[in-house]
């Protein structure tokens, strides 16, 4: 279509909707407003819903080191298998001894189930590895089969190989398996020599094709989905995981670095937190640890934002006596200081050397540190003080991220902000998993007072205090706690308020990030997967549309205040009352010299709009990106239909009007939709 044809098409559309009132907005394209932080949209990763082991971390073997409380979780054993505990890795001392039966056809075997099975692809290579020895000396053979237990007979084997073990010393043996077909539920079978006793430990299977081809790597499709989000910041490792159900099970970063074989297992609190979603085999191997986290940040070109324990166990689940006392905080403070050294210190410093030995002598250049997840009240505020003092003294350039607790407003939330201001935190991490009303800015407290929520939330924030990090948020539909299209559109509307207030909001990360369809504890989530496939939720696309079009500076986008009789006052296009549920925001992108306008229609009707591009002249072509859906608002992408709802590119002709030939954009914004317009200035 040429410009004229497109204009005609629009004229037709406009006449069809002649009955609906046209809403007019003005964008001041000349005066650049606040810079949009490069960290504005990012990732929040927590090992919930099998996000690490069984998810992003590409290891296919569950309980590879026999360290689970039940050492055979994930394994079937037969024959003469004995659990031993004097293995080569002091933090994971268990291994198994496979003794021969004494009969050629009686096999001593162990078989691993993986995480809901192992997803393998026909023709692709998988790297098997095992630590082994022959305790009595000499040579032994280990047979390795990748099997499909749904099929019996000769076809059961998807692939097989063997390794020759020799000598009394522990050594790592590797072999490549190439499955003959794709199967989502494979098992890995290892069987021992029929004559010689063999000890085996750290049994592992990874796809060779991991993200960036790393041996201790990430699942290619899932890591790529993260890269494609173009994140500016990456918060890790939680969430409640940071705190643990008790202090003993908190996330301890020092256990997550160094050789993977010697990273001790930790309980994952999500295996039992929700009794209706009980996953007794959900543990943390820390194979995806702090080194891998920093490396991913480097891959994605985003800022790492680690969060460490402030000495508080989960406050929801514990009384005061469960936390570290004030005079017991030093090891926790040291963890913070040492992490900064691990990330940024010279390669010959104590912790910088650990990083260098892992293959990264150059610093990771970490700039932010979160201290405490979702903590609240005096137990937090008093503990935070010595952390802030110690970090400021040693690393004055590190930006400290405090938290306002789990509430999105109310007395404790306010108290948190006051405390963070007093302690001069650089940013405050706010969390809100709220319903549709909240996201649309209509929620009220019990006394009927309007809450400070939705897209107008940040308009009234104090500009002199810490900046905002909206660290965990998602619209949880009332009575519909799963992903669905409508709530994603409400998130898009809410985000216009984040973008418009870029002078105070520096970061925002949707939560949670990942979920295995067979192993979730919490939903909605941004990216779903099974063992072979994945799909992006509509919320993913909302995040991506913002992140890829975040611009460099805010532009003023306003409409006439309907409440002003004289018609002179202008207000932002946000809030349900302003323009029939339309929300809009605008930014300028220096690198492409583009004005980028985002319009969200939260109403259930198509709405005609006119946007005056003040200070721009002449006809122009706008690039458009649209997220809309003709089906039910309850719909969502699925593994079987992963692309049902996704952004679609288009174009729209902008006309020139009046003597000044001012550029003007006219459009009909579909019901429940999110559309971006990009116009060269």
Catalytic residues: 374
DSSP single-letter state for residue 300: H
Q: Judged by CB under 6 A, which of 231, 512, 572, 608 binds ligand AHR?
A: 512
> Which residue's Cβ lies closest to ligand AHR?
239
Contacts with 112 (C-beta within 8 Å, 6 or more apart), sequence order: 61, 62, 63, 64, 74, 75, 118, 187, 188, 189, 190, 203
Q: How far is the CB of 664 from ligand AHR (least distance, A)?
A: 43
Nearer to ligand AHR, 237 or 575 (CB): 237
- Which of 341, 333, 316 has its CA nearest to residue 371? 333
Q: Is 511 in the site for ligand AHR (CB under 6 A)?
A: yes
Q: Which is nearer to ligand AHR, 407 or 615 (CB)?
A: 407
Cβ-based nearer residue to ligand AHR, 526 or 545: 526
What are the beta bridge partners of residue 41?
A: 508
Tell me the C-alpha distance between 294 and 305, whole Å. Answer: 9
Q: Report the residue number, 210 or 373, with the smaller CB distance to ligand AHR.
A: 373
Q: Kindly state the smallest distance separating residue 49's Cβ from ligand AHR, in Å.
A: 9
Among 112, 256, 373, 543, binds ligand AHR (CB under 6 A): 373
Question: Any residues with CB less than 8 A from the CB of 185 and at least 6 apart, and which?
Answer: 114, 116, 117, 118, 119, 148, 149, 150, 531
Please tell me whether residue 428 binds ligand AHR under the rule CB under 6 A: no
How far apart, in Å, are the Cα atoms of 393 and each of 17, 386, 390? Answer: 63, 11, 5
Binder among 159, 238, 289, 402 for ligand AHR (CB under 6 A): 238
Residues 385-414 that bind ligand AHR (CB under 6 A): 406
Hey, which residues between 565 and 624 contact ligand AHR (CB under 6 A)? none
Among 143-151, 233-241, 293-301, 612-620, the segment contacting ligand AHR (CB under 6 A): 233-241
Where does this chain touch ligand AHR (CB under 6 A) — which range of 110-118, 238-246, 295-303, 633-641? 238-246
> Is-contact 508 467, C-beta < 8 A?
no
Point out which span in 24-32, 157-165, 235-243, 288-296 binds ligand AHR (CB under 6 A): 235-243
CA–CA separation, 110 and 97 (whole Å):
10
For ligand AHR, the closer of residues 245 and 576 by Cβ is: 245
Q: How many residues does the chain have?
A: 681
Tokens in use for 277? 């979603």
Q: Which is nearer to ligand AHR, 10 or 44 (CB)?
A: 44
Please, which residue, 49 or 285, has the CB nearer to ligand AHR?
Answer: 49
Binding positions for ligand AHR, 95-114, rule CB under 6 A: none
Strand segments, DSSP code E, in 274-398 are: 283-284, 303-308, 368-371
Q: E strands within 125-208?
A: 126-133, 139-147, 157-166, 171-177, 183-191, 198-207
Q: Closest separation between CB of residue 568 and ligand AHR, Å?
A: 45
Cα–Cα nearest to 75, from 116, 131, 114: 114
* 284 is a site residue for ligand AHR (CB under 6 A): no
CB of 522 to ligand AHR, least distance (A): 5
Under the binding rule (CB under 6 A), the answer on residue 42 touching ligand AHR is no
Kindly state whether residue 265 participates in binding ligand AHR, applying the rule CB under 6 A: no
d(CA 194, CA 101): 7
Interface pick for ligand AHR out of 281, 303, 374, 606 (rule CB under 6 A): 374
CB of 542 to ligand AHR, least distance (A): 18
Per-residue interface string for the shown chain with ligand AHR, residues 439-478, x marking contact by CB under 6 A:
---------------------------------x------
Q: Which C-beta is closer to ligand AHR: that of 64 or that of 431?
A: 431
Q: Which is nearer to ligand AHR, 515 or 672 (CB)?
A: 515
How near is the Cβ of 328 to ligand AHR at its closest, in Å? 23
Residue range at the interface with ligand AHR (CB under 6 A); choices 232-240, 554-562, 568-576, 633-641: 232-240
What is the enclosing helix (H) or strand (E) of 355? helix 350-357
For 418, residues 6+ apart whose C-beta sits below 8 A from its C-beta are none
Among 26, 46, 53, 636, contact with ligand AHR (rule: CB under 6 A): 46
CA quadruple 195, 199, 203, 208: dihedral positive or negative?
A: negative
- In angstroms, the CA 203 to CA 285 distance is 13
Indicate whether 522 belongs to the interface with ligand AHR (CB under 6 A).
yes
Tell me if residue 396 falls in helix, strand or coil: coil
Which residue has tokens 């965990």? 472
**Smallest distance, Å, CB 237 to ligand AHR?**
10
CA distance 210 to 530: 16
Q: SS3 helix, strand, coil % of the chain, rounded to 5?
A: 20, 35, 45
Selected range binding ligand AHR among 92-100, 236-244, 258-266, 304-312, rule: CB under 6 A: 236-244
Least distance from ligand AHR to the Cβ atom of residue 77, Å: 35
**Does 240 interact with ligand AHR (rule: CB under 6 A)?**
yes
Residue linked to tokens 């938290």: 403
Residue 325: exposure state from Cβ atoms within 10 A (0-12, 13-18, ≥19): exposed
Number of residues that bind ligand AHR (CB under 6 A): 13
Q: Taking the CB of residue 226, how many other CB atoms lie within 10 A of it?
A: 23
**Shortest separation between residue 382's beta carbon and ligand AHR, angstroms:** 21
The one among 239, 306, 352, 524 contacting ligand AHR by CB under 6 A: 239
Cβ-Cβ contacts under 8 Å for 382 (sequence gap 6 or more): 326
Residue 292: how many CA atoms within 13 Å on its side-chain side?
26
Which is nearer to ligand AHR, 47 or 145 (by Cβ)?
47
Residue placing its CB nearer to ligand AHR in the complex, 46 or 193: 46
Q: Nearest-CA neighbor of 128 among 162, 156, 99, 157?
A: 162
Which positions touch ligand AHR (CB under 6 A)?
46, 48, 238-240, 373-374, 406, 431, 472, 511-512, 522
């Amino acid at each position: 279509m040429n410009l004229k044809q497109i204009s005609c098409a629009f004229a037709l559309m406009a006449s069809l909707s002649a009955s609906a009132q046209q809403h007019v907005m003005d964008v001041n394209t000349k005066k650049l407003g606040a810079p949009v932080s490069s960290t504005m949209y990012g990732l929040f990763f927590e090992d919930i819903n099998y996000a690490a082991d069984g998810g992003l971390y590409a290891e296919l073997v569950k309980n590879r080191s026999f360290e689970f409380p039940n050492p055979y979780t994930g394994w079937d054993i037969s024959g003469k298998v004995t659990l031993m505990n004097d293995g080569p890795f002091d933090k994971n001392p268990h291994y198994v001894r496979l003794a021969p039966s004494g009969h050629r056809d009686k096999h001593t075997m162990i078989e691993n189930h993986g995480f809901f099975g192992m997803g393998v692809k026909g023709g692709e290579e998988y790297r098997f590895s095992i630590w082994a020895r022959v305790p009595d000396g000499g040579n032994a053979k280990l047979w390795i089969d990748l099997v499909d237990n749904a099929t019996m007979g000769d076809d059961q084997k998807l692939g097989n190989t063997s390794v020759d073990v020799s000598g009394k010393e522990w050594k790592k043996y590797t072999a490549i398996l190439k499955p003959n077909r794709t199967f989502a539920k494979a098992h890995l079978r290892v069987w021992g020599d029929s004559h010689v006793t063999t000890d085996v430990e750290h049994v592992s299977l990874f796809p060779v094709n991991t993200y960036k081809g790393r041996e201790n790597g990430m699942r290619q499709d899932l890591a790529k989905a993260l890269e494609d989000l173009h994140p500016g910041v990456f918060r890790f490792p939680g969430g409640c995981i940071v705190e643990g159900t008790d202090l003993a099970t908190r996330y301890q970063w020092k256990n997550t670095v160094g050789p993977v074989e010697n990273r001790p297992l930790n309980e994952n609190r999500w295996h039992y937190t929700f009794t209706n979603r009980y996953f007794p085999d959900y543990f943390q191997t820390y194979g995806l640890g702090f080194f891998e986290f920093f490396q991913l940040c480097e891959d994605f070109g985003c800022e790492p934002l680690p969060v460490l324990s402030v000495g508080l166990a989960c406050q929801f689940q514990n009384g005061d006596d469960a936390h570290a006392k004030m005079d017991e905080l030093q090891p926790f403070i040291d963890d913070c200081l040492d992490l900064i050294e691990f990330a940024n210190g010279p390669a010959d410093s104590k912790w910088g050397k650990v990083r260098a030995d892992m293959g990264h002598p150059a610093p990771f250049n970490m700039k932010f540190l979160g201290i405490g997840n979702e903590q609240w009240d005096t137990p937090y505020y008093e503990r935070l003080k010595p952390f802030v003092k110690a970090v400021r003294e040693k690393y004055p350039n590190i930006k400290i991220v405090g938290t306002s607790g789990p509430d999105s407003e109310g007395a404790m939330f306010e108290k948190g902000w006051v405390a963070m201001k007093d302690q001069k935190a650089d940013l405050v991490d706010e969390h809100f998993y709220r319903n549709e009303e909240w996201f649309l800015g209509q929620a009220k407290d019990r006394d009927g007072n309007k809450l400070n929520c939705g897209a107008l939330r940040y308009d009234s924030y104090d500009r002199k205090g810490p900046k905002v990090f909206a660290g965990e948020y998602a619209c949880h539909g009332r009575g519909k706690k799963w992903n669905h299209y409508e709530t994603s559109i409400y998130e898009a509307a809410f985000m216009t308020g984040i973008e418009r207030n870029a002078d105070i909001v520096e970061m925002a990360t949707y939560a949670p990030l990942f979920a295995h369809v067979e192993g979730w504890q919490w939903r909605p989530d941004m990216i779903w997967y099974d063992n072979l496939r994945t799909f992006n939720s509509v919320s993913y696309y909302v995040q991506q549309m913002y992140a890829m079009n975040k611009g460099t500076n805010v532009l003023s986008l306003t409409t006439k205040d309907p409440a002003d009789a004289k018609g002179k006052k202008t207000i932002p296009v946000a809030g349900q009352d302003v323009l029939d549920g339309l929300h809009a925001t605008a930014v300028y992108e220096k690198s492409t010299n583009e004005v980028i306008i985002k319009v969200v229609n939260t109403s259930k009707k198509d709405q005609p709009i006119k946007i005056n591009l003040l200070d721009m002249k002449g006809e122009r072509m706008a690039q458009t990106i649209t997220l809309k859906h003709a089906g039910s608002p309850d719909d969502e992408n699925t593994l079987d239909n992963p692309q049902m709802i996704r952004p679609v590119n288009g174009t729209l002709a902008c006309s020139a009007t009046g003597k000044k030939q001012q550029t003007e954009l006219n459009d009909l914004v579909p019901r429940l939709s999110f559309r971006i317009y990009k116009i060269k200035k």
